[in-house]
A and B are shown apart, each in its own frame.
Chain A
Amino acid sequence: MKMLSRKASCDSHGQDSSYFLGWQEYEKNPYHEVQNPNGIIQMGLAENQLSFDLLESWLASNTDALGLKRNGRSVFRELALFQDYHGFPAFKNELVEFMAKLRGYKVAFDPNKLVLMAGSTSANEILMFCLAEPGEAFLLPTPYYPGFDRDLKWRTGVEIVPIHCSSSNDFRITACALEEAYQRAQKLNLKVKGVLVTNPSNPLGSTLNRDELNHLIDFAIKKEVHIISDEIYSGTVFDSPSFISITEAVMEKHVDHETDLLGRIHIVYSLSKDLGLPGFRVGMIYSNNETVVAAATKMSSFGLVSSQTQFLLSNMLSDKKFTSKYIKENQRRLKKRKDMLVSGLRSAGIGCAKSNAGLFCWVDMRYLLRSDTFEAEKELWKRILFEVGLNISPGSSCHCSEPGWFRVCFANMSQETLKVAIRRIEVFAESSSSASGRENLSHQRSVRNSRRSLSKWVFPISSYNDHEPADR
């Protein structure tokens, strides 16, 4: 008899993909300004490390508020005991206010429709458990976050059917592509329960426009399916056009009176990207469907948010002056970083998809491919990892249908490190173009004096030893 479950023995966790393998290599040889200047720079990690100083200074001036006593009464006991899966009322009130603020107060949220759980990783999985049976499917526009393969499919048994988007129209979702994906699912005998979009998009870094949102809404009405809008990057919109949330789009279409579409709209949110706090595991589902809220609330028992963390963050978010200042400043810094990367890439002759949000750029390296194939993309990725010393994420790991695109993160490092990365890219691009994309080790060695020990990087990707954090 097989001793472990099928889930334990299969690889639907998706962690053997290049997305995670690159991390492994990074961890073996991480860049450090002083201790390891030739190491690999991590550009595959969509983290926001730009605004910690703002959080730290808030903490420093609010230690009394967070201390264990208030008016002589200790709050420790309450925190230690609090395991109510409804969450701290005050925390949820602050969260819905924060979410509304990020949407320019164009929509309002009800804290009773908000369910908290340990990260959006958990939120996405819980929605699958609530909305679909094993073997049923959700449509996702490509390219999409590699972790969805694990979060949506692994333990739930739900299938993902990709909606193919192409660079010919900036990877926008079209009505045609939606229908085509639906038909493909039908042919595969997969019952489609809904569409899941990430807005702003990971890995594209752009917000969905009104047309796309309307296509989604029309599709969901016609097919009577769910829409899940993963809006975890909503606070990272640093440029126009402004963010249009799914709620806003539905309201504007005035469809809620005619159908019960609202009961099929669910939002996933988290504080991991907007506030840069992935370690605290704060995720949430917002749904107008009471059955979903009830079921998700019970399921959140499997991964509640630590009461200590709820307490800290409800205090932080209650400081409205601080949150306004933080949102604005954070967006300003993200824009600056993104502009820096984009112009650096441009001077290397490399283009990016136009983006106005997120912690990364969607970079076009098609011209550097030996051939228009995913094998060539993988080769290029390996060269960039081992020769250039940058861990970036190949488009194939994001299920992109076109080879040659890469997601490159810019907010998880210091400015100096980004400059180093950009320099390396410039050199690489130069040498690659002149060598017609062929490997040219000796040429690169003579150009980059600081790269003496190339050979130490050129080692095979060893068998996966599960050393990876799971992150976007």
Chain B
Amino acid sequence: MELSKNPQLLSNIATNERHGENSPYFDGWKAYEENPYHPIKNKDGVIQMGLSENQICFDLIEEWIKKNPKASICTSEGVDEFKNIAIFQDYHGLPEFRQALASFMGRVRGGRVRFDPDRIVMSGGATGANELIMFCLADPGDAFLVPSPYYPAFDRDMGWRTGVQILPVDCDSSNGFLITKAALEAAYEKAIEDNNKIKGLLLANPSNPLGTLLDRETLTSLVSFVNEKNIHLVCDEIYSATVFKSPSFTSISEIIEEMGSEICNRDLIHIVYSLSKDMGLPGFRVGIVYSYNDAVVSCGRKMSSFGLVSSQTQHLLASMLLDEEFVGNFLEESSRRLAKRHEMFMKGLEQAGITCLKSNAGLFVWMDLRWLLKEQTEEAEIVLWRVIINEVKLNVSPGSSFHCTEPGWFRVCFANMDYHTVEVALKRLHAFARQEKLAISSTRYLRNHKLQLSFSFERYDKSCVHVRTLFHRTRCPLTPQYFLDISVPMVRAASRT
């Protein structure tokens, strides 16, 4: 169909690459999907460590659902609510849902701040929330500063359909990837020099991929910065309940309460939240924009029509999150289990001689493999990454896909698999690290003794599979289907037809 491929027939947005799904971040998923690890059926398969999911506390939620059949409109106890829920499409959302979210967000912040349910705007996951807030705050061509390394899909979420530009504020390991006022000012000045109209700053706190928190001092100085420049501050706090160790989490909401409205113009402050990470429910598509700016709440609410949360889901979660005992227990237990998992993983890495950035939040670690790079370049990082996928059989995410300016860092997820699989992954990393150390010291020895050997580098070159060329299908790598087991009813239905 020639004409239908005619680029003028479709929009630029439909045919450009700004959705960003051809980046290496997604490439690794393909390798995983073609050869997924299974403890029995495919022991040599690729272990998925590029998926930042929280699978640690499902049992707690399942137990609650079993004990509270009324919360579901599909049970005999809950079906009398079916009609009211099925027709409810008010973009304000169910009042009890907003109340429940406000209450949950407050609990996550240790009760140090209260959220107003009337400022909660629904959206289709944090993906939808980030896009929505951009539509409200910026025009096509405007720019937002974002400290790097940052979550790869921000490029799509913030910029694809909105036309907003992301200008990275580069951070590196020289100071533990901290955001400094100097770096921010420099990035801002450069952006202005390049004739960019900066509308705001977007932060992810806790950080993805670093797993670290912004401390009080930094947050305060960032608030001063945006006030000084009269630009917006969007804080993506979707990992706020994944903080498993001290120091504790400080939300932007606490900072502005402390600063008071004389110092901080609240109309500049907006929070993005979701239940996908903290509660491990990405399938339910619960995204939130919480804004201190009335006009943004009003406009955002109208825009939320394009991605409302299913009323069935609102109803279930309203019940769940208003159960204070459950929430208290869940947050405590989730934190404990994440801490345990993180500790186990870090110990294993330590034994393998692999170091990571010190972190206390998130579902991943920021692994330092710079010592394994042939040279400190992005190309060398990609070569190493392909080795890790194809030989070590672990899908990890290369730092370059997070726009990290320093090659050699990798984000490795640990909360999206069971304990046994983590052990297998650690074993593989251990073996790999040992092998590489041996190769490096052998090479050094041989070089010192003027002997020739290049097998280790040869191996690197051989393993240079052109990964990108494999990926023609438009599978969303954010959503592998490894968990769609044949015994699941909807899959069974598919195999029937």
Contact = CB atoms under 8 A, between A and B. Distances in A.
**A and B physically associate:** yes
Nearest to B58: A77
Contacts of A374: none
A4 B136 contact: yes
Interface in B70-112: 72-76, 79-80, 82-83, 85-92
B85 A63 contact: no
A1 B9 CA distance: 36
B284 interface: yes
A190 interface: no
Interface stretch (B217-225, B340-348, B437-445, B471-479): B471-479
B75 A63 contact: yes
B128 A67 contact: no
A315 B307 contact: no
B86 A131 contact: no
B285 A469 contact: no
A402 interface: no
Central interface residue in A70, A82, A297, A471, by most chain B CB within 10 Å: A82
A279 B479 contact: no
Interface in A205-259: 224, 226, 259
Interface residues of B, number: 103
A122 interface: yes
Given A7-B135, A86-B479, A76 B58 contact: yes
Interface in B446-497: 474-476, 478-481, 483-485, 487-494, 497
A68 B307 contact: no
Interface string A108-138: 0000000000110110010001111110000
B206 interface: no
A151 B72 CA distance: 31
Contact of B284 (A68, A75, A80): A80
B310 A52 contact: no
Given A80-B284, A90-B491, A298-B474, A309 B299 contact: no
B161 A299 contact: yes
Contacts of B474: 294, 297-298
Nearest to B125: A304
A471 B1 CA distance: 37
A66 B74 contact: yes
Contacts of A13: 299, 302-303
B442 to A, nearest CB: 43
A76 B3 CA distance: 45
A279 B310 contact: yes
A6 B139 contact: yes
Contacts of B128: 301-303
Contact of B488 (A60, A78, A264): A78
B306 A276 contact: no
B369 interface: no
B139 A262 contact: no
A74 interface: yes
A307 B302 contact: no
Interface string A448-464: 00000000000000000
Contact of B285 (A7, A304, A315): A304
Interface in B238-280: 267-268, 276, 280
A280 interface: yes
B312 A262 contact: no
Nearest to A124: B306
Contact of A297 (B1, B15, B476): B476
A297 B476 CA distance: 9
A280 B75 contact: no
A70 B487 contact: yes
A84 B66 CA distance: 26
A279 B309 CA distance: 8
A437 interface: no
B305 A93 contact: no
Interface string B126-148: 01100100011111101000000
B372 interface: no
Central interface residue in A81, A224, A276, A318, by most chain B CB within 10 Å: A81
A129 B16 CA distance: 12
Given A260-B1, A280-B86, A306 B10 contact: no
B298 interface: yes
Contacts of B55: 77, 81
A118 B65 contact: no
Given A80-B283, A93-B494, A133-B11, A280 B310 contact: yes
12 contacts: A68-B62, A75-B488, A78-B488, A82-B484, A83-B283, A264-B3, A277-B86, A277-B87, A308-B283, A311-B490, A466-B301, A470-B89
Given A5-B142, A56-B80, 11 more contacts: A3-B232, A3-B268, A67-B74, A90-B489, A122-B307, A129-B14, A279-B88, A279-B89, A298-B476, A299-B161, A315-B490
| Ranked 10 nearest A-B pairs via Cβ | A263-B4, A303-B307, A279-B311, A84-B479, A307-B283, A303-B124, A306-B310, A90-B490, A90-B493, A66-B74
Interface of B: 1-5, 9-15, 19, 21, 53, 55, 58, 61-62, 65-66, 72-76, 79-80, 82-83, 85-92, 123-125, 127-128, 131, 135-140, 142, 156-157, 161, 197, 230, 232, 267-268, 276, 280-285, 293, 295-296, 298-299, 301-303, 305-313, 316, 474-476, 478-481, 483-485, 487-494, 497
